[in-house]
Amino acid sequence: MLLITCPYCGPRPEIEFAARGEAHVARAAPDGDGEAVAASLWLRTNPKGLIAERWRHVAGCGRFFNAVRHTVTDRFVTTYRVDEPRPDLAALAAAVGARGEGAR
């Protein structure tokens, strides 16, 4: 069973959570350029490696939070509240790689 750590409730089973897409996406103004609006709505980075994602603890506190997850191993590296700054993904990738927990 995969455990995801809610920043408010602690570790819980993955079935209590719902993924809500990539975090830290800059939204375009709705009355702005059509291409910019479409890009902000539909284009995502889809990296092979670490990504910052928005999650919601739907069967727990109901709050949104962000998580850094490895897209190959599905391992959650860290979770943090939405009002906290985005962690340095390159530094986290180096730390994960140094521990031998990166992509296989």
Window 47-66: contact mask with Zn ion (x via CB under 5 A): ----------x--xx-----
**9 counts as binding Zn ion under rule CB under 5 A:** yes
**95 counts as binding Zn ion under rule CB under 5 A:** no
C-alpha 36, offset from chain centre: 22
- Residue among 2, 1, 4, 95 at smallest CA distance from 58: 4
For residue 63, the minimal CB distance to Zn ion (Å) is 6
Binding range to Zn ion, per CB under 5 A, among 9-17, 23-31, 79-87, 90-98: 9-17
Whole-number Å distance between alpha carbons of 59 and 6: 11
